[in-house]
Amino acid sequence: MLRSTLVEATQAGAAEIMRFFQQSFTVSNKEGVNNLVTEADHASEKAILSVIKRDFPAHQILAEESGALSQNSEFKWVIDPIDGTVNFAQGIPLNCVSIGIEHKGDIVMAAVYNPHLNEFFFAEKGKGATLNDKPIHVSQKSVTLHSCLVTGFPYTYINEPNGPLEVFERFVRKGVPVRRLGSAAIDLCWVACGRFDGFFEQKLEPWDSAAGFLIVEEAGGRVTDFKGDAFSIYQHKVLATNGLIHAEMLDVINARKEL
Ligand code: IPD
Ligand code: CA
Ligand code: CA
């Protein structure tokens, strides 16, 4: 039941994305100059929540637009109704619904669906990851210099040593291709299926990373913070790789090594 509810909720959110995509919709601003929320974000979240609350009314919820519903349950649904809202608002078909289910503090099931490409990523802890029901695996690249990376930048820049632009510059100066797609959940899933070899970002929120984190791990990849410690969705720095380039990327991120 958990799985079928997750799939139905994800699809219900995605149907709202498609209903509004490239149509007219209202847009307002959150904290930060271009941190948008659209009518479609609210509609997607509402559709998702109605499916979850119908099947699991006692479960906890952490949803980007409506916040936390704390209840006495071991389960928590961590929801991003549209990851890639700026892309959505621009009519760029790189955005998705992202939902991770936490049980006793661990993410145990996850779904990310980009309806524009009809790509449904799913993972269950200990049971592997799939794209449209076919198993996926991370890449085999073992050298960062020959890898293709992806990153994202926060709405409000973090001006500190080893900040987002400094780290980005270190890889780019060496000639490593680094993409910036605008949806952290898609970035993570594209590491999971081997399109990218590594992803790093410095200011993610739980709903950005909850689903993609499990999907990368279940596809055989590694996800940590920038110290190389176990990743928690409640801290902001994420490094997700195929595992093989992880240590080298950590050294470059922390300025301990040049490529
Ligand atoms: C954003 C996207 C983007 C990342 C930002 C996130 P939103 O989420 O994942 O790729 O760089 O840090 O906030 O606002 O589109 O849900
Ligand atoms: Ca997001
Ligand atoms: Ca969002």
Q: What is the pLDDT of residues 87-120, one digit of tens each?
A: 999 999 999 999 999 999 999 999 999 999 999 9
Mean pLDDT of 21-27: 94
Give pLDDT tens digits for 218-227: 999 999 999 9
Tell me, in angstroms, the distance from the centre of ligand 1 to residue 54's CA: 28
Q: Does domain 144-253 have CATH number 3.40.190.80?
A: yes
Instruction: Delimit the domains of the chain by residue range.
Output: 2-135, 144-253
pLDDT reported for residue 158:
83
pLDDT reported for residue 31:
80
Q: Which atom of ligand 1 is nearest to the CA of 153?
A: 11
Tell me, in angstroms, the distance from the centre of ligand 2 to residue 258's CA: 31
Q: Which atom of ligand 1 is nearest to the CA of 182?
A: 10
**Token code pair at residue 197:** 């070899």
Nearest bound ligand to CA 86?
Answer: 1
Judge whether 2-135 and 144-253 match in fold.
no
Instruction: Report the mean per-residue pLDDT for the chain.
Output: 97
Residue 80, pLDDT > 90, answer yes
- 3-state SS assignment for residue 69: strand
Nearest bound ligand to CA 155?
Answer: 1
Among 83, 87, 191, say which to mutate for ligand 1: greatest number of ligand atoms within 8 Å of CB. 83
Residue 197, pLDDT > 90, answer yes
The model's confidence at residue 33, banded by pLDDT at 50, 70 and 90, is: confident
Q: Which residues contact 107 (CB under 8 A, 6 or more apart)?
A: 78, 100, 101, 125, 210, 211, 213, 214, 233
Tell me, in angstroms, the distance from the centre of ligand 3 to residue 111's CA: 15
Please state, in angstroms and rounded to a whole number, the distance separating the CA atoms of residues 257 and 248. 8
pLDDT reported for residue 30:
86
Nearest bound ligand to CA 186?
Answer: 1
Please state, in angstroms and rounded to a whole number, the distance separating the CA atoms of residues 244 and 141. 7
Tell me, in angstroms, the distance from the centre of ligand 1 to residue 84's CA: 6
**Which residue minimizes the CA distance to atom 15 of ligand 1?**
84
Q: For domain 2-135, which CATH number applies: 3.30.930.10, 3.30.540.10, 3.40.50.620, 3.40.50.720?
A: 3.30.540.10
**Token code pair at residue 54:** 């119908």
Beta strands in 39-151 (DSSP E): 60-63, 67-69, 75-83, 96-103, 106-114, 119-124, 129-131, 134-135, 149-151
Give pLDDT tens digits for 123-159: 999 999 999 999 999 999 999 999 999 999 998 888 8
pLDDT reported for residue 42:
98
Q: Which residue has the tokens 């998702």?
A: 48
Tell me, in angstroms, the distance from the centre of ligand 2 to residue 18's CA: 17
pLDDT reported for residue 155:
87
76 burial via Cβ count (<10 Å: 0-12, 13-18, 19+): buried
Instruction: Enumerate residues lining ligand 1, CB below 6 A.
Output: 80, 83-85, 152-154, 182-184, 201, 203-204, 208
What are the residues facing 130 on neighbouring strands?
A: 122, 135
Sign, CA dihedral 9-11-12-18, equals positive
Please state, for a pLDDT cut of 70, what percent of the chain lies above it.
100
Give the global pTM.
Answer: 0.98
Give pLDDT tens digits for 174-186: 999 999 999 999 9
pLDDT reported for residue 183:
98
Q: Which residue has the tokens 């992880």?
A: 246
Tell me, in angstroms, the distance from the centre of ligand 2 to residue 158's CA: 17
pLDDT reported for residue 57:
98
